[in-house]
Chains A and B, each alone.
Chain A
């Protein structure tokens, strides 16, 4: 925290990725475009469109997603150690391309169906093999620990990837606060179970046949690793629900499904906890789920990935996947002596 002096509480510093004013479409041009759209009789259709425009392809309804969920700016410190040279995935793509089966199995379902999700009040319970079990309220999530921003690569087992500036605090800070006992060997996480609010939990057809609530787990060493982040925001603002509001896990060297969203319970355990995708298809999804180009999923080669970046449909790039998603220097030691083909 060497940069503490640059940090002014209550004021959001303009971050690197914030586009320059001269790159923003002038309001007059924007309105003229709306006028053209209306004149074409497309206004009514456009108004019902929740998503955003595939940038660079056809900038017809060029505007931010019409989300009714309000995200608010966060106060945080930029941690420049990670992802310095990465091109960020635009916020619109990060918030409209989500795997969050609680809100539907299609990529756009979560942004369509999660906007009414209530995140305040919220309670996150930390219990199990800890000395001081505690319950965090909504306010605590962003106030209890100093927040930092980290740019991490996100690699999905479906072989696409993004680069996302998360805001959050290390899970280790939380675990130190509650004091893990000597019996604590694993950490189990649980997503909220709210069938009234999460249609995927109500209907098997929408929820992809997962047994809800969604559960995930880490070893205590993985949980204490400095990379493991409890995220409360992205792109400088609080998380939208489709990205796991109000608080989610981010484990950047593992496939995306390990990074469980909308967490209500963290339980330190002496045994390895069950994990949702492993329960569903153990031969496809192991407990560890470390990004590994050498171990293919039965349906997706993991040797390369499609990086979702700026621009339109054909602007994505295919890049080689790195072991541990490129975070080997931080985490490879956790798996020394383990056969990663067996412990996939």
Chain B
């Protein structure tokens, strides 16, 4: 597929890398708990918690989508093995995001929850993204991956749909702050554009030419 010889990583080292990634994923949650309990997040931190976990899900998604460009660009093949771990943090943060909305904002009002999902386009878009993320998380086991074969890859290409829906959900949900959501839209556009066939072809032909040159 691509050159993975640049930097070899032993299984033990990979374990450490994964541990660091877990810490990167968990520390913000610990920080959130601390800020809320200590009052740093204000007198009614509901909105802060919902926003923080939502941004967390977006960041984890960006990180997931950044892994393969980085692995290919820097020739770090082992990096690909961390992608599932990072991807599951998207699911974790998105789940916290929705649980916070449902429990802290709506105070477990089921009817209101479903009517809001149906009525508010921005929530509907977010809900669609979450359904896909959930499907990806549930099928993330290696055994299932083998069992599903090619259909697994088709399903997991759904992450690209999430990468379109999630930043739109963010953009639509804010009152007037458009700079931050715009940056996310731009970032995800770049991450998706990198995957367009036209760029992939150019890149592979350039790599092939470079390889020939070397010989």
Per the 8 Å Cβ criterion, residues 37-54 of B in contact with A are 37-48, 51
Residue numbers in A under 8 Å from B51 (CB-CB):
106
Q: Cβ of A210: which chain B residues have Cβ within 8 Å of it?
A: 176
B48/A106 in contact, CB under 8 A: yes
Nearest-CB residue, chain B, relative to A99: B175
Pick from B38, B104, B106: contact of A60, CB under 8 Å: B38
The chain A residue with its CB closest to the CB of B39 is A51
Set A94, A204, A298, A308: member contacting B179, Cβ < 8 A: A204
What distance in Å separates the Cβ of B30 from its nearest Cβ neighbour in chain A? 12
* Residue interface bits A200-211, CB-to-B below 8 A is 1, else 0: 000011001110
Chain B CB within 8 A of A57 CB:
yes
Are A97 and B44 in contact (CB-based, < 8 A)? Answer: yes
B84 contacts the other chain (CB 8 A): no
- Whether, in the assembled complex, B196 has its beta carbon less than 8 Å from a beta carbon of chain A, the answer is no
Of B109-117, B133-141, B158-166, the segment with at least 4 beta carbons within 8 Å of chain A is: B109-117
Q: Does B103 contact A (CB under 8 A)?
A: yes
Q: A111 to chain B: which residues have CB within 8 Å?
A: 42
Verify A299–B40 contact, CB threshold 8 A.
no
For A, the interface residue count at a CB cutoff of 8 angstroms equals 47
B48: chain A residues at CB < 8 Å are 106-108
Q: Are B106 and A54 within 8 A (Cβ)?
A: no
* A77 CA to B198 CA, complexed, in Å: 75
Determine whether the beta carbon of B177 is less than 8 Å from that of A51. no
Evaluate contact between A205 and B39: CB separation under 8 angstroms. no
Are A313 and B104 in contact, with the CB atoms below 8 A? yes
Q: How far is the CA of A189 from the CA of B106 in the complex (A)?
A: 34
B27 to chain A, nearest CB (A): 15
Residues A308 and B44 in contact, CB atoms below 8 Å apart? yes
B107 at the interface (CB under 8 A from A): yes
**Is there contact, CB below 8 Å, between A318 and B120?**
no
Question: Would B41 and A51 count as touching, CB distance under 8 A?
Answer: yes
Task: Name which residue of chain B comes closest to A107, CB basis.
Answer: B42
Which of A101, A107, A209, A296 touches B44 (beta carbons < 8 Å)? A107
Interface residue ranges of A255-276 to B (CB < 8 Å): none
CB distance B43 to A93 under 8 Å?
A: yes
Asked if A314 lies at the interface with its beta carbon under 8 angstroms from chain B, I say yes
Q: Within the complex, what minimum Cβ distance (angstroms) separates B133 from chain A?
A: 22
Residues of B within 8 A of A92 (CB): 43
Additional A-B contacts beyond A306-B46, A314-B103 (5; CB < 8 A): A45-B34, A52-B39, A52-B43, A209-B176, A316-B107
Interface residues of A (CB under 8 A from B): 45-46, 49-54, 57-58, 60-61, 65, 90, 92-97, 101, 105-108, 111, 158, 160, 204-205, 208-210, 280-281, 296, 298-299, 301, 304, 306, 308, 313-314, 316-318
Pick the 6 closest A-B CB pairs, nearest first.
A108-B42, A51-B39, A93-B43, A96-B43, A97-B43, A97-B44
- Give 14 pairs: A residue, B residue, CB < 8 Å, sorted on A: A46-B38, A53-B37, A53-B39, A96-B39, A105-B176, A107-B44, A108-B42, A208-B177, A209-B177, A296-B119, A299-B120, A301-B119, A316-B107, A318-B109
